[in-house]
Amino acid sequence: MEKTIIINIGNTIIHIEESAYELLKIYLNEVKQHFVNHADDLEIVTDIENRIAELLTEHLTEEKKQVVDANNVNAVIAQMGRVQDFDGAEENEEEPVVNSNYQFHAEKKLYRDMDERVIAGVCSGIAHYINTEAKWIRLATLLTVFLGGAGVLVYAILWIIMPKAKSRIERMEMKGEPANLQGFQKNLDEELLAVNQGLAIAGKHTGSIFRQIGIFIGEFFEWLGRFIGGTGKVIFKVIAGFIIIFGILFLLALIISAAAFQGFWDSSVYEYFPFSIVNENSRGVILFSAFIVCFIPILALVLFSIRVAFNKQAINKTLSFALLIIWLAGVASAGYYAAKISSEFKQHAELTQSADLKSFKTYVIDIDKSKYFSKEDSIAYHIDANQSRQIVTDDFENGPFVSPNNVRINIEKSENSATRLTQKYESQGKTFSSALQNAQNIDYKYSLKDSAIVFSPRFQLRKGTIWRNQEVWLNLEVPVGTRIILKEDAYRYINNYGTWDCGETENDKNDYTVWVMTEDGLKCVAQLKEEAIKKNKLKQELLNLDFLKKNRATDTLYQDSLSNRIKEVKEELGIKVE
18 vs 440, which has greater pLDDT? 440
pLDDT at 239 over 70: yes
Looking at residue 203, what is its pLDDT? Answer: 45
Looking at residue 472, what is its pLDDT? Answer: 92
Distance CA 49, CA 30 (A): 13
Q: Which residues contact 419 (CB under 8 A, 6 or more apart)?
A: 356, 357, 358, 359, 360, 363, 476, 477, 478, 479, 482
Burial 500-519 (b: 16+ CB within 10 A, else e): eebbebbeeeeebbbbbbee
pLDDT at 571 over 50: yes
| Best mean pLDDT range from 84-98, 271-285, 328-342 | 328-342
Looking at residue 101, what is its pLDDT? Answer: 41
Query: How does the average pLDDT of the chain come out, rounded?
Result: 75
**How does residue 323 score in pLDDT terms, banded at 50, 70 and 90?**
confident
Looking at residue 474, what is its pLDDT? Answer: 92
Cα 36 → chain centroid: 59
Q: What is the mean pLDDT of residues 448-458?
A: 87
How far is the first Cα of the chain from the last one, in angstroms, to the nearest whole number? 130
HEC per residue, 137-202: HHHHHHHHHHCCCHHHHHHHHHHHHCCECCCHHHHHHHHCCCCCHHHHHHHHHHHHHHHHHHHHCC
Cα 48 → chain centroid: 52
Looking at residue 262, what is its pLDDT? Answer: 65
Cα 42 → chain centroid: 53
pLDDT at 227 over 70: no
Instruction: Please state, in angstroms and as integers, the Cα–Cα distance from residue 93 to each residue in 23, 87, 181, 259, following that order.
Output: 32, 14, 20, 86
Q: Which amino acid is at 256?
A: I
412 vs 270, which has greater pLDDT? 412
**How does residue 426 score in pLDDT terms, banded at 50, 70 and 90?**
very high
For the chain, what is the radius of gyration of the CA atoms? 45
pLDDT in tens, 58-70: 888 888 888 888 8
Q: Which residues contact 214 (CB under 8 A, 6 or more apart)?
A: 117, 118, 119
Q: What is the mean pLDDT of residues 44-72?
A: 82
Predicted TM-score (pTM) of the model is: 0.47
Percent of the residues in the chain that have a pLDDT greater than 90, as a whole number: 6
Which among 118, 193, 198 is positioned nearest to 159, based on CA atoms? 118
pLDDT at 349 over 70: yes
| Best mean pLDDT range from 35-39, 436-440, 573-577 | 436-440
Distance CA 61, CA 68 (A): 11
Range scoring the smallest mean pLDDT among 3-7, 89-93, 423-427: 89-93
Q: Positive or negative CA dihedral for 63, 69, 75, 77?
A: positive
**How does residue 364 score in pLDDT terms, banded at 50, 70 and 90?**
very high
At 494, phi and psi to the nearest 5? -75, 125
Q: What is the mean pLDDT of residues 385-405?
A: 54
Q: What is the mean pLDDT of residues 237-254?
A: 85
Decide the pairing of beta strands 406-413 and 471-478: parallel
**How does residue 220 score in pLDDT terms, banded at 50, 70 and 90?**
low
3-state secondary structure of 484: strand
Q: Positive or negative CA dihedral for 26, 32, 35, 40?
A: positive
Instruction: Please state, in angstroms and as integers, the Cα–Cα distance from residue 311 to each residue in 228, 302, 317, 379, following that order.
Output: 15, 13, 16, 61
Cβ–Cβ under 8 Å, residues 52 and 103: no
Decide the pairing of beta strands 452-455 and 446-449: antiparallel
Distance CA 445, CA 474 (A): 11
421 vs 527, which has greater pLDDT? 421
**How does residue 475 score in pLDDT terms, banded at 50, 70 and 90?**
very high
515 vs 148, which has greater pLDDT? 515
Q: Which amino acid is at 61?
A: T
Looking at residue 205, what is its pLDDT? Answer: 46
Instruction: Please state, in angstroms and as integers, the Cα–Cα distance from residue 428 to each residue in 309, 344, 441, 466, following that order.
Output: 52, 7, 12, 11
Distance CA 449, CA 357 (A): 11
HEC per residue, 91-122: CCCCCCCCCCCCCCCCCCCCCECCCCCCCCCH
Is the bond leading into 274 cis (omega within 30 degrees of zero)?
Answer: yes
Distance CA 220, CA 134 (A): 22
Which among 437, 444, 492 is positioned nearest to 471, based on CA atoms? 444
At 530, phi and psi to the nearest 5? -60, -40
457 vs 119, which has greater pLDDT? 457
Range scoring the smallest mean pLDDT among 263-277, 525-539, 549-563: 263-277
Looking at residue 191, what is its pLDDT? Answer: 59
Looking at residue 94, what is its pLDDT? Answer: 45
pLDDT at 99 over 50: no
3-state secondary structure of 403: coil
Looking at residue 97, what is its pLDDT? Answer: 43
| Best mean pLDDT range from 257-261, 359-363, 378-382 | 359-363
Distance CA 564, CA 536 (A): 20
∠ CA(556), CA(562), CA(564), 5° rounding?
105
pLDDT in tens, 128-177: 888 888 878 878 877 777 766 666 777 777 777 788 877 667 777 777 77
Percent of the residues in the chain that have a pLDDT greater than 70, as a whole number: 69
**How does residue 378 score in pLDDT terms, banded at 50, 70 and 90?**
low
